[in-house]
Amino acid sequence: MPDNTIKVLEKMLDVAAFRQKVLASNIANADTPGYKAKDISFQKELDRAIEGSKEQDYEVYETVTTMPNRDGNTVNLDIEMAKVAENTLIYNAATQLMTMKVRMLKDVIKGGR
């Protein structure tokens, strides 16, 4: 039975990196009139990435988290910063797991020394 751990962790990192770009765009456009906050479903996109979809196929959708401002902007900085923190935790966890997996593979190759 093949071990797909590294493939899954790689896809987790890819999806988290793409989501970070989307969330950063929301924060950068917090004062842009008419801008609609966007996001992706991390779990859905991870599942799709594992099945073989490419980055440009990620489904970005408009989020409806708060009432729009007077200028039509829907970015809520508190919510966006919480999403960034969550996404950073996911990315860091995947990075640590990847590091551990590579170390284990190195140990196996070296014969356990």
Dist CA 104 CA 10 (whole Å): 16
Number of folded domains that form the chain:
1
- Whether 112 is in a domain gets the answer no
Residue 1 has what pLDDT? Answer: 43
- Whether 27 is in a domain gets the answer yes
Average pLDDT over residues 1-6: 72
3-state helix, strand, coil in the chain (%, to 5): 65, 5, 35
What does the block give as tokens for 64? 């409806």
48-57 contacts, C-beta under 8 A, 24 or more apart: 49/11, 49/14, 49/15, 50/4, 50/7, 50/8, 50/11, 55/14, 55/18
**Position 70 confidence tier, pLDDT thresholds 50, 70, 90:** confident
- Whether 56 is in a domain gets the answer yes
- Whether 34 is in a domain gets the answer yes
Residue type, 60: V
Q: Which domain holds residue 38?
A: 5-107
pLDDT in tens, 17-53: 999 999 999 999 999 999 999 999 999 998 888 887 6
pLDDT in tens, 91-111: 999 999 999 999 988 888 888
